[in-house]
Structure 1
Amino acid sequence: MDTDDPALPVLAAGAVLWRRSPFDDGLEIALVHRPRYDDWSHPKGKLKPDEDATSAALREVKEETGMDCVLGSPLPPARYMANGRPKHVRYWAARATTGAFTPSREVDRVIWLPPTAARHRLTQDRDRELLDALLAGPAS
């Protein structure tokens, strides 16, 4: 498959990364800040050649947040145009396990917020819909 063919969708994967708060056992959601777009989003990225979506989701969470995670329930996919091409992103709920964030050119900040605050901080409506889907169903 020609991944540069503008008629073919860009395939990507990501996760809504969550953990239990160390303070009150409530739910916290990780959001990433991408300086290139000056936006707040969930970790996600393009699939590498011959990479499956679950492996890509785990890799992207690790690369963008520094966190290892366990994928849980699938969440609704997102389909939108990006740079003139259709983009299809598969998502999962993902429970954070271990790790530590290191800033990079792609992601310069990670914040953990309660769901209501995360919903307000997210830049795109499609990311809010993913958070709503996580909250509506089982997270793991």
Structure 2
Amino acid sequence: MSRQRPLFQVSAGGVVFKKSATGIRVCLIGRRMNGQIVWGLPKGHVEKNESLEQTALREVREETGISGSTLSPLGFIQYSFFDLESKKRIFKTVHFFLICYLKGKLNDHDDEVEFVRWYSAKEALNRAEYPSERQVLRKAIGKLKQHK
């Protein structure tokens, strides 16, 4: 039995925020999985000749309908999963950036995403499905509170 080589993927995404009269608002995307809505951060694959920052801005625009500007990197998360289609284990690294809302409408996103919503920072932390993404959210919220 031969062992297949694992696949390594690099992605980038963002914690998109805007300030409102009621405080910081964070944008999350929702996808239906196994009959439930799973909320998370917009992210996706790096395309050829694209920087991580460019990828994050493009993915945010495609998945949320929002154009933004990056303020700072937030670090990266790593995880692995088994891809049923390729029958290979995928090891993924996702780099995140803090992104300030500039313009756009939440209903102008691609079909890959079913729901896009603004949430308070606290509610975004409660809704985000994955612990690693909640950790990225906490870091982003901490940075925003430092620079009021």
Asked if these proteins are the same fold (TM beyond 0.5), I'd say yes
Task: Give the aligned partner of residue 93 of structure 2.
Answer: 88
Q: Report the count of equivalent residues.
A: 134
Q: Which runs of 5+ in 1 are unaligned?
A: none
1:107 aligns with 2:113: yes
Please tell me whether residue 45 in structure 1 is matched to residue 44 in structure 2. Answer: yes
- Indicate the structure (1 or 2) with the bigger Cα radius of gyration: 2
1:30 pairs, out of 3, 27, 32, with 27
Percent identity of equivalent pairs: 28
Which amino acid in structure 1 is aligned with residue 115 of structure 2? R
Give the Å deviation of 1:51. Answer: 1.6
Residues in 1 aligned to 2:13 and 2:98: alpha-carbon distance in whole angstroms: 9
Is 2:46–2:55's contact at 8 Å kept on the other side of the alignment? yes
Q: Where does 1:1-140 land on structure 2 (aligned, <5 Å)?
A: 6-21=5-20, 24-36=21-33, 38-82=37-81, 83=83, 84-101=89-106, 102-138=108-144
Task: Give, in whole Å, the separation in 1 of the partners of 2:63 and 2:109.
Answer: 8
TM, length-normalised to structure 1 = 0.87
Which is richer in strand? 2
8 Å CA contact retained: 1:6, 1:85: no
TM-score where L is the length of structure 2: 0.82
Give, in whole Å, the separation in 1 of the partners of 2:125 and 2:27. 11
CA RMSD of aligned residues (A): 2.0
Q: Distance in 1 between matches of 2:23 and 2:31?
A: 26
